[in-house]
Structure 1
Amino acid sequence: MRRRWILPALCGIVLGLTAHAAGAADPAAIKEKAEQCSGCHGENGISQTENIPSLAGQPDQFIQWQLVFFRSGARKNELMQPIVEQITNEDIRNLGAYFAALTPPKVSKPDDNPDLSQKGAQAAVGRRCNSCHTDTFAGTKAVARIAGQREEYLVKALHDYKSGVRSGGAGAAMTDVAYPLSDEEITALAHYLAHL
């Protein structure tokens, strides 16, 4: 019953955030705020830490939504909670724009298992991943960029959606997609997407 009002309330908050015309924000202040994220999410938003996603090149609205979900408690993470409790709506808008403007991570090493990638590509087609994440898996609006994301993070995210641990945003759609995936399909899909 409680979940019925949470999503409309969050939608209202985010629509208010995105519709509000941000004043001339100080670029140095935005960069300083974003640098607080680099301890986990990496310099220039490219994670070097296992199970921590890269933020560089994520769509602006996606970043905003996730920060709102973390701040409201719809998404839970013990490392994120103390951080999001201290950010303002303006910070959320600015951080979304900042990370969206950064160059997304590039695949740093060649695909060491093209057969696994082929299986992952088949799983992506079978689950119609491109219908939300776009044909290049670069994401759009409030939908995540998954191309080039950390492989082990993608595995974790898919398992979290499958088990219902992860909620907020596209939780219902992603749970429907992830639930029937086998562990082998999750591994293949994550491998394929990480090497795009």
Structure 2
Amino acid sequence: MLFASALVIGGSAIAADDIEQKAQICATCHGADGVPINNTTPVIWGQDEGYLYLQLRDFQKGTRKSPLMEPIVADLEKQDMYDLAAYFTNKKWPNLGQPSAPSDVAAKAESAAKSIGCRGCHLDHFQGDGTTARLAGQWQEYLLSQMLAFRDGSRGNNPGMSDLMKATPKEDLEPLSKYLAGLQVDQYIGRGGR
């Protein structure tokens, strides 16, 4: 087991039992096996560590709003957020079994992605990196809800994304979310074991 005795993050050692216990709270909604309980809750297993940390921080600071997440993160220490981000990053991204987008939807999505430069941050396979979210294989409903939230300003923790979503025709958002949701890229990006 990866976390057999201790997890070393940021120069400090956290007992594996402690991090496992904290992660159990997350599993209530995000799933004990990495598959969230509903399609409006994001996959966090295998998500990029920096991105996960920033989201926890932003929920705590109130720059990202969520009546469910805000009380959960309220009492987390900075190290707790680092530890949880590292813990979930080292889990394997689950296959949600979403179908690949039909060719006409994929073409519309590719055109939209190219016009606003999605790959500039989310990379070639939409796998994300560092502080940028992985989009490939995420729940389609969650992706669409977040695109719309960036667009209408209700998700305010990334003004650059808000600007990009406002610049994208609204009718392109659903095809883009369907396309991204249907991508299973782990065999291409070397994350098959994670």
Contact 2:112–2:172 at 8 Å: present in 1 too?
yes
1:188 paired residue number: 175
2:54 pairs, out of 65, 75, 100, with 65
TM-score calculated relative to the size of structure 2: 0.84
Contact 1:40–1:52 at 8 Å: present in 2 too?
yes
Equivalent position amino acid for 2:50 in 1: Q
Are 2:151 and 1:162 equivalent residues in the alignment?
A: yes
1:43 pairs, out of 18, 23, 32, with 32
Greater fraction helix: 1
> Aligned-residue CA RMSD in angstroms?
1.5
2:186 paired residue number: none
Any idea what the Cα deviations from partners look like across 1:92-119, whole Å, max 9, x if unmatched?
Answer: 0110101111111225143263321221
Give the whole-Å Cα distance in 2 for the aligned partners of 1:112 and 1:186.
13
Any idea what the Cα deviations from partners look like across 1:122-144, whole Å, max 9, x if unmatched?
Answer: 21122110100111111111111
2:12 paired residue number: 23
Q: % of aligned pairs identical?
A: 33
Any idea what the Cα deviations from partners look like across 1:13-34, whole Å, max 9, x if unmatched?
Answer: xxxxxxx824121112111211
1:56 pairs, out of 39, 45, 48, with 45
Give unpaired runs (5+ residues) of structure 1.
1-19
Greater fraction strand: 2
Give the whole-Å Cα distance in 2 for the aligned partners of 1:55 and 1:173.
22
Are 2:114 and 1:152 equivalent residues in the alignment?
A: no
Listed as ranges, the matches of 1:111-126 within 5 Å are 111=100, 113-126=102-115
TM-score calculated relative to the size of structure 1: 0.84
Q: Give the secondary-structure state (helix, strand or coil) at the position aligned to 1:24.
A: strand
Q: Give the secondary-structure state (helix, strand or coil) at the position aligned to 2:12.
A: coil
Give unpaired runs (5+ residues) of structure 2.
1-8, 184-194
> How far is the alpha carbon of 1:176 from its aligned partner?
1.5
Contact 2:137–2:182 at 8 Å: present in 1 too?
yes
Contact 1:42–1:49 at 8 Å: present in 2 too?
no
Figure out how many residues of one structure are paired with residues of the other and give that number. Answer: 175
Q: 1:112 to 1:125 in 2, by over 3 A?
A: closer
Q: After the TM superposition, list the runs of 4 or more consecutive aligned residues in structure 1 that deviate by more than 4 angstroms.
A: none
1:176 pairs, out of 163, 176, 181, with 163
2:124 paired residue number: 135
